[in-house]
């Protein structure tokens, strides 16, 4: 059964009636452009084929959320506070949307029931949280007779994560989940939110490291703070500098050298990674997969040495993957500090490459998946 059917069944079993609306949304795998979204840089994600389904309806009294993993949260409606659990991602979206003037007052009066089912792995760096938020945003919006366009849905989902859940993430994951075109990657300018579909002529393999990660940990917030510090120092000399990604590559060496470490390293990563993402879209469009693989490799080196968000295990997986025949490049994917490695293979080689990695006894990888690019959020009913 697909997640939408499972979510509908779970809703019925829990609340004794059919859900009124169901939406499904994908996770994302970012091909390149890591740790640049919150600096207004470029990213190149694909949506996962695996999706999270959110079934909603006006359940009798209160706010109740259930997931097929058996966890249930009950609270007052309208929502007043966080519960410190997965339901916060859903509750945050519901609370924000309910507070908007165009949401009918009747929505705030009735209770709210939510049932969630998902095929996405948790903690694997594919942003199951964005899938949950974006799926919830589309389902609640439809329940309350609103049909926001993908950018607006992504903004709502992003606000739920930053303002309600309290994770200081960028907007890449929510935009990818809301707007990814079927079967293609999406080049996103995270400052202007302009987007362009980019066709892929490579195979993608996602390798889970088994090291779980969560953005609630402090390292991600530390990197954001370092970026702000670096920007403030650069602005002291160059007041017109708006964002770190505006540092021209030709001036990067001299400017970064004047910053205290680790800030210099962080800025070098951000500026170069943003360039790499734009270049990557270009080489893919020009049919040069080998050049794409080289950019992916350079991205990993930069994340490891300059942004310092890799782990010995991620580095070992990257090295092992690069030695597999027909692999073009490999790098850690998502925020880092655990999660997954993305392996880029020649077109048609994804199956054999995945089989090879699964057979690597020394690495003992918990999961190796072919990434079949999916598409953005959908209202099922």
Least Cα distance to 230 among 275, 189, 270, 278 occurs for 270
Member of 23, 98, 179, 335 binding ligand GLA (CB under 6 A)? 335
DSSP state of 62: S
> Comparing C-alpha atoms, which of 169, 145, 109, 124 is closest to residue 332?
124
DSSP per residue over 283-327, as a string? Answer: HHHTT-HHHHHHHHHHHHHHHHHTS----HHHHHHHHHHHTSTTE
When asked if residue 37 is in the footprint of ligand GLA (CB under 6 A), the reply is yes
- Should residue 273 be labelled a site residue for ligand GLA when binding is judged by CB under 6 A? no
Residue position matching structure tokens 């598409």: 375
Please tell me whether residue 3 binds ligand GLA under the rule CB under 6 A: no
Q: Which residues contact 301 (CB under 8 A, 6 or more apart)?
A: none
**Two tokens at 42?**
């470029």
Interface with ligand GLA, residue 227, by CB under 6 A: no
Q: Does 35 bind ligand GLA (CB under 6 A)?
A: yes
Stretch that binds ligand GLA, among 52-60, 147-155, 170-178, 362-370 (CB under 6 A): 170-178
Residue 173 in the binding site for ligand GLA (CB under 6 A): yes
Count of chain residues binding ligand GLA (CB under 6 A): 12
Task: Work out whether 172 is an interface residue with ligand GLA (CB under 6 A).
Answer: yes
Which residue, 144 or 220, is less far from ligand GLA as judged by CB? 220
Q: Of 91-150, which residues contact ligand GLA (CB under 6 A)?
A: 127
State which residue, 118 or 174, has the beta carbon closest to ligand GLA.
Answer: 174
Smallest distance from the beta carbon of 187 to ligand GLA, in angstroms?
A: 14
Alpha-carbon gap, residue 43 to 127, rounded angstroms: 15
Using DSSP's 3-state secondary structure scheme, residue 32 falls into: coil
In the complex, minimum distance from the CB of residue 22 to ligand GLA, in angstroms, rounded to a whole number? 25
Residue 27 touches ligand GLA, criterion: CB under 6 A: no
**Do 93 and 136 meet the contact criterion of CB atoms below 8 Å apart?**
yes
Which residues of this protein are in contact with ligand GLA, per CB under 6 A? 34-35, 37-38, 127, 169-170, 172-173, 215, 334-335
């Amino acid at each position: 059964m697909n997640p939408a059917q499972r979510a509908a069944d779970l809703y019925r079993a829990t609340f004794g009636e059919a859900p009124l609306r169901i939406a499904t949304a994908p996770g994302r795998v970012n091909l390149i452009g890591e740790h640049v979204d919150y600096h207004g840089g470029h990213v190149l994600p694909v949506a996962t084929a695996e999706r999270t389904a959110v079934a909603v309806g006006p359940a009798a009294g209160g706010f109740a959320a259930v997931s097929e993993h058996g966890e249930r949260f009950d609270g007052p409606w309208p929502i007043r506070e966080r519960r410190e659990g997965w339901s916060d991602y859903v509750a945050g979206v519901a609370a924000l949307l309910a507070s908007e003037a165009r949401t009918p007052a009747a929505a705030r009066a009735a209770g709210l029931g939510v049932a969630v089912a998902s095929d996405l792995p948790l903690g694997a760096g594919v942003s199951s949280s964005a899938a949950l938020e974006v799926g919830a945003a589309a389902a609640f919006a439809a329940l309350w007779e609103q049909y926001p366009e993908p950018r607006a849905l992504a903004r709502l989902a992003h606000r739920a994560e930053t303002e309600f859940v309290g994770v200081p993430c960028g907007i890449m994951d929510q935009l990818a989940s809301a707007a990814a075109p079927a079967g293609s990657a999406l080049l996103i300018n995270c400052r202007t939110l302009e987007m362009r579909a980019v066709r892929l002529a490579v195979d993608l393999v996602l390798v889970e490291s088994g090291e779980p990660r969560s953005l609630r940990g402090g390292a991600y917030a530390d990197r954001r703070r370092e970026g702000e510090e670096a920007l403030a120092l650069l602005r002291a000399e160059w007041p017109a500098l708006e964002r770190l990604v505006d540092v021209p590559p030709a001036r990067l060496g001299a400017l970064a050298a004047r910053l205290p470490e680790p800030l210099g390293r962080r800025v070098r990563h951000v500026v170069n990674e943003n360039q790499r993402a734009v270049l990557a879209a270009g080489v893919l469009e020009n049919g040069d997969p080998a050049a794409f693989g080289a950019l992916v490799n350079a991205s990993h080196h930069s994340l490891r040495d300059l942004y310092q968000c890799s782990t010995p295990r991620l580095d070992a997986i990257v090295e092992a993957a690069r030695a597999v025949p027909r692999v073009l490049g490999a790098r850690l994917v998502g925020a880092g500090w655990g999660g997954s490695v993305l392996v880029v293979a020649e077109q048609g080689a994804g199956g054999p490459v995945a089989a090879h990695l699964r057979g690597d006894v020394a690495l003992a990888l918990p999961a190796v998946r072919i990434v079949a690019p999916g598409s953005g959020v959908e209202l099922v009913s």
